């Protein structure tokens, strides 16, 4: 007669085909819940000094904290990873001077300077700008004294509705800094990413010329 080795009796709670007992159900869910809570605390831990909203947003896997300097002021914000620099400026820190035209890189209305270079802020991911210096139209003037290109736009009457103007001016500042101002044609070429639906191009070019020439 074959001898069977003793087997522990399968309890209803360990048999996969049986429904879990109340005890094993509680043990399992407590363990899983503990891992989830621990994970949440780990993610939120660096933000314990911030607001609860910051911590909640930062704990979300799709969000990040980014610190950058905007017009000389250090800013730290928690944003969805897909947030553009344009939306960070307009929606998170209420700098609405930078305009949204196409939101697709085609009009130049959103032009700002990042580390001295002009960029379309609608195409620039905010989370990639950790530590960057951003200058917007709000940061150009020195107190009550306008930047020379802002003054030149007024002198040359280089706008009508004004919607494209912040982007035109920021692009013009970049264009002058880059030295692409040898002739009206060169200025037109290097400002060609900035569309003006009011058709002020002749006067915009004159304003850039005036500033580049120090007049
Ligand atoms: Fe950015 Fe048009 S809004 S290029
Ligand atoms: Fe109206 Fe340029 S001034 S779009």
Final residue in a domain of this structure, among 104, 119, 139: 139
57-107 pLDDT, tens digit per residue, is 556 789 999 999 999 999 999 999 999 999 999 999 999 999 999 999 999
* Phi-psi sector, 100: left (phi>0), alpha (psi -120 to 50), beta: beta
At 49, is the pLDDT very low, low, confident or very high (cuts 50, 70, 90)? very low
Final residue in a domain of this structure, among 139, 163, 193: 139
In terms of pTM, does the model score above 0.85? no
**Distance between Cα 99 and ligand 1 center (Å):** 8
- For ligand 1, atom 4, the nearest C-alpha belongs to 105
- Residue 20: which residues within 8 A CB-CB, separation 6 or more? 13, 28
Q: Is the pLDDT of residue 55 over 70?
A: no
34-48 pLDDT, tens digit per residue, is 333 333 333 333 333
**Distance between Cα 68 and ligand 2 center (Å):** 30
Residue 158 CA: nearest ligand 2 atom is 3
Q: Which of 14-23, 59-68, 117-126, 134-143 is predicted with the least confidence, judged by mean pLDDT?
A: 14-23
Predicted local distance difference test score (pLDDT) of residue 125: 98
Whether the CB-CB separation of 205 and 187 falls below 8 Å is answered with: yes
In a domain, 42, yes or no: no
In a domain, 195, yes or no: yes
Please count the structural domains in the chain: 2
At 129, is the pLDDT very low, low, confident or very high (cuts 50, 70, 90)? very high
Cα distance between residue 44 and residue 55, in whole Å: 5
Predicted local distance difference test score (pLDDT) of residue 113: 98
Q: Is the pLDDT of residue 167 over 80?
A: yes
Together in a domain, 115 and 192? no
Range of the domain at 190: 141-215
The CA-to-CA distance between both ends of the chain, in Å, stands at 113
Token digits for 84? 């553009």
- Residue 50: which residues within 8 A CB-CB, separation 6 or more? 58, 78
Together in a domain, 131 and 172? no
Together in a domain, 56 and 81? yes
In a domain, 209, yes or no: yes
In a domain, 23, yes or no: no
137-149 pLDDT, tens digit per residue, is 999 999 999 999 9
Which ligand is closest in space to the CA of residue 120?
1
Q: What is the mean pLDDT of residues 5-17?
A: 39
Q: Among 199, 147, 146, which Cα is nearest to 177's?
A: 147
185-211 pLDDT, tens digit per residue, is 999 999 999 999 999 999 999 999 999
- Please choose from 111, 158, 161, 207 the residue to mutate so as to test ligand 2's pocket, defined by most ligand atoms within 8 A of CB: 161
Helix (H, G, I), strand (E, B) or coil at 105: coil
Token digits for 87? 């939306």
Q: Is the pLDDT of residue 3 over 80?
A: no
Q: Among 128, 41, 144, 126, which Cα is nearest to 89's?
A: 126
């Amino acid at each position: 007669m074959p001898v069977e080795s003793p087997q522990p009796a399968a309890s209803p709670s360990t048999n996969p085909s049986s429904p879990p007992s109340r005890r094993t159900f509680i043990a399992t869910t407590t363990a899983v819940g503990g891992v989830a809570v621990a994970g949440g605390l780990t993610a939120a831990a660096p933000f314990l000094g911030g607001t609860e909203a910051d911590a909640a947003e930062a704990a979300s896997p799709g969000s990040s904290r980014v610190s950058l300097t905007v017009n000389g002021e250090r800013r730290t914000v928690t944003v969805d990873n897909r947030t553009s620099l344009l939306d960070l400026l307009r929606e998170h820190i209420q700098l609405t001077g930078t305009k949204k035209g196409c939101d697709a890189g085609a009009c130049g209305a959103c032009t700002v300077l990042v580390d001295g270079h002009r960029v379309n802020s609608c195409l620039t991911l905010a989370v990639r700008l950790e530590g960057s210096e951003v200058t917007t139209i709000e940061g150009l003037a020195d107190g009550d004294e306008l930047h020379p290109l802002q003054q030149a736009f007024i002198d040359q009457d280089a706008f009508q509705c004004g919607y494209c103007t912040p982007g035109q001016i920021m692009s013009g500042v970049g264009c002058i800094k880059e030295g692409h101002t040898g002739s009206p044609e060169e200025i037109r070429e290097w400002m060609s990413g900035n569309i003006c639906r009011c058709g002020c191009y002749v006067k915009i070019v004159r304003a850039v010329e005036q500033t580049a020439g120090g007049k």
